[in-house]
């Protein structure tokens, strides 16, 4: 391994064992930072270092040289992305922040309005058995992918659960803005559940045929 790392820069030719392809000092970004230099030994190291610094701290580069440079450095861009995808803890003076964005009371309220996980599982099992899907009032719905549990099942159940969780004084569901303002912790929890099911079921409808569900093996995985 040590010889492989130094081979491109040291004297002589390094021959890896087993007839494997010799390593290259050029990474995916070499052409972007070194310009049109083909020989690694002739690359301007100082220029490459300056480019990497600018990429990380000043203005993020694109892989291709002709593409426009982004306005933020890679580190700052990643930090903003992480911050935008973390729930606001809602910390108040004298209170300890909840890093999840919801409290135990919110969790209890969420479960009190129904077991949405069981609803999604039952719907997935019905579909895998070839039975028709049904909406909130029992009416048949169109199946996006017959026989496979997919995101539309979770979406239907979570949509109905939203209506139970966020009711206004008139009994009608609150708007998203109203729900977020009036029941922030509960809203954060519901959003996290939605995101979790979206990740779980994102590629499930592309599953392999050999994973077909049997009475003792559910593709839904729960």
- Bridge partner residues of 214 (DSSP): 217
pLDDT (tens digit, 9 = 90+) per residue, 158-206? 999 999 999 988 989 999 999 999 999 999 999 999 988 888 887 665 5
Contact 97, 91 (CB under 8 A): yes
Whole-number Å distance between alpha carbons of 60 and 17 = 38
Would you kindly state where each structural domain of the chain is located, as residue ranges?
2-84, 104-211
Select from 26, 35, 33 the least CA-distant residue to 8: 26
Most confident of 5-9, 63-67, 180-184: 180-184
Is the pTM higher than 0.85? The answer reads no
């Amino acid at each position: 391994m040590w010889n492989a790392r130094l081979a491109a820069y040291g004297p002589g030719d390094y021959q890896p064992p087993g007839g494997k392809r010799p390593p290259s000092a050029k990474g995916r970004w070499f052409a972007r930072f070194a310009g049109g230099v083909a020989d690694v030994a002739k690359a301007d190291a100082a220029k490459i270092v300056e480019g990497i610094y600018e990429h990380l701290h000043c203005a993020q580069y694109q892989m291709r040289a002709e593409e426009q440079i982004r306005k933020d450095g890679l580190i700052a861009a990643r930090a903003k992305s992480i911050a935008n995808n973390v729930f606001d803890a809602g910390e108040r003076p004298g209170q300890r922040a909840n890093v999840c964005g919801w409290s135990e009371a919110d969790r209890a309220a969420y479960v009190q309005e129904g077991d949405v996980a069981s609803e999604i599982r039952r719907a997935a099992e019905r579909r895998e058995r070839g039975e028709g899907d049904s909406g909130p009032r029992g009416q048949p719905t169109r199946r996006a992918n017959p026989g496979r549990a997919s995101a539309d099942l979770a979406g239907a159940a979570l949509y109905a659960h939203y209506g139970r969780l966020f009711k206004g004084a008139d009994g009608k569901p609150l708007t998203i803005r109203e729900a977020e303002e009036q029941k922030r912790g509960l809203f954060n929890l519901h959003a996290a559940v939605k995101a979790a099911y979206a990740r779980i079921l994102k590629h499930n409808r592309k599953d392999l045929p050999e994973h077909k569900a049997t009475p003792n093996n559910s593709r839904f995985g729960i």
